[in-house]
Amino acid sequence: MIGKWATTAANQGIALAASLLMRSAIKPLLEVDEQSLFAVGLSRADIVACLSTPFTTDPTEFLASRGKKLRAGRGVRCGPRAARGTGPDPKKLRAP
């Protein structure tokens, strides 16, 4: 019985330490400009909301899900097809 209690307490302590570590890694995102945050599908409000979640939740999961929802709504392409059609037309770059 004591062994089970000790295991539960240890697991909760590890989860709390991991949550604090993740939050300390997320805090520098508050200093990033809005354009850069928008480029990855986030806003400053998302960062603040993430840091306001209870310590029992993983803040990185909140940010990841928020970013995915916004990117899906904007129709942002990911992967090799994303770069297709960008840049100048090579035919127009030829010298006359």
- The model's pLDDT over 47-66, given as tens digits with 9 standing for 90+, comes to 998 888 887 788 888 888 87
Higher model confidence: residue 34 or residue 90? Answer: 34
- What is the residue range of 33's domain? 2-75
- In one-letter notation, the amino acid at residue 85 is G
Model pTM? 0.57
Structural domains counted in the chain:
1
Q: Is residue 90 part of a domain?
A: no
**Alpha carbon separation from 65 to 6, 41, 48, 69 (Å, rounded):** 33, 10, 15, 6
Mean pLDDT of the chain: 76
